[in-house]
Chains A and B, each alone.
Chain A
């Protein structure tokens, strides 16, 4: 149980375009979803926390207008990287917690974004 999926697994885009990443909880209702960014051989840095039906709470230093987060349902959250630039290239990971999961976060497999 407690499976989280992400789509796509990897994406390559041109500089200036926008990219949407989906995060779904497959077998539980995710009242809270989290988005992380992981640089090569480094730890996970929390970008934002979103509760279903509410605006996301962004960590200090994360641009709200650059990284748009939507959590419209209990099973789906999306991260849109707007006007992507090469410095946005990274590994983006989502996690979910909620009913049936308690305070434990369950992680998706991640999305590799490469901006050319």
Chain B
């Protein structure tokens, strides 16, 4: 069965420190992979996505993620965290629906809540 695992429920880092959020997926085919951020009172915002090609993907707000097929991972990184990065981060895998070709539904991980210390 398809699944997404985010092993870390909470992560706390100091402002200016580097960050890595882990994501592992289980899916039989080539996955479409996404990272979203959810801030209180706001909708999920797309940080970056991987469909194919270069396995190192650059996103918004200075984030990047690397797709490693051998490890079934798509970890999110940022070299220097800002206080405004405190939020909930979700990894998702897109799988093609059985009913409509070309339509992809998402399976989300359980999320990682990031706290940033001043």
Contact = CB atoms under 8 A, between A and B. Distances in A.
B67 to A, nearest CB: 16
B90 interface: yes
Interface in A84-116: 93, 95, 97, 103-110
B58 interface: no
B44 interface: yes
B106 A46 contact: yes
Given A43-B90, A107-B36, A49 B105 contact: yes
Given A49-B97, A103-B104, A104-B49, A109 B42 contact: yes
B44 A51 contact: no
B105 A34 contact: yes
B28 interface: no
- Prevailing SS type, chain A contact patch: strand
A105 B100 contact: no
Contacts of B97: 49, 57
A75 interface: no
* Chain B at the A interface: SS class: strand
B63 interface: no
Contact of B43 (A43, A57, A108): A108
A-side interface size class: 20 to 34
B108 A106 contact: no
A103 B51 contact: yes
A57 B105 CA distance: 11
Contacts of A109: 41-43
14 contacts: A4-B43, A32-B100, A41-B113, A42-B111, A44-B108, A57-B97, A57-B100, A93-B44, A103-B32, A104-B34, A107-B36, A107-B44, A109-B43, A110-B43
Interface of A: 4, 32, 34, 41-46, 49, 51, 57, 93, 95, 97, 103-110
Given A43-B111, A104-B49, 20 more contacts: A4-B43, A32-B100, A34-B106, A42-B110, A44-B44, A46-B106, A49-B99, A51-B100, A51-B103, A57-B100, A97-B103, A97-B104, A103-B102, A103-B104, A104-B34, A105-B106, A107-B43, A107-B45, A108-B43, A110-B43
